[in-house]
Amino acid sequence: MVGAMVHQLMKGATIEEIKAAGAESWYTDHDKATWPGIGTGVPFTAAYIMSKGDPIADLVEDMAAEEKARATYEHLIDLADDPDVIDPLRWLREREVVHFQRFGEILNKIYEWKDSKKYY
């Protein structure tokens, strides 16, 4: 969704507007296309996705990722002034909050199971 918003915002931008926004290096490498990366231009890599194989460690990692995404959406909302951009960012932010809560519920169930007496 964020990529779609970037595309919509850039598709009609003139070269002068791109320069005024400080996006010349983006335009040089990607024209007005979206590209998976962080704000400083570092590309996305699967190395960002952590997996230990332990349900507790993996769920805590997932919860941290949801909180990082929530914070990023909040920062984008702070920077935005267009309601057509802010509204979907708010929706995405709330989705991250719900994901964090659901992962927390699963984590609690894993702890309950781990602490329960096993009958084999």
**To 10 degrees, what angle do helices 2-10 and 83-115 make?**
170
Full-model pTM: 0.72
Query: What pLDDT does residue 5 have?
Result: 82
Per-10-residue mean pLDDT of the chain, 120 residues long, equals 79 90 83 77 76 91 95 94 94 97 97 86
Domain ranges within the chain, ordered by starting residue: 1-44, 49-120
C-alpha radius of gyration, the chain, whole number: 19
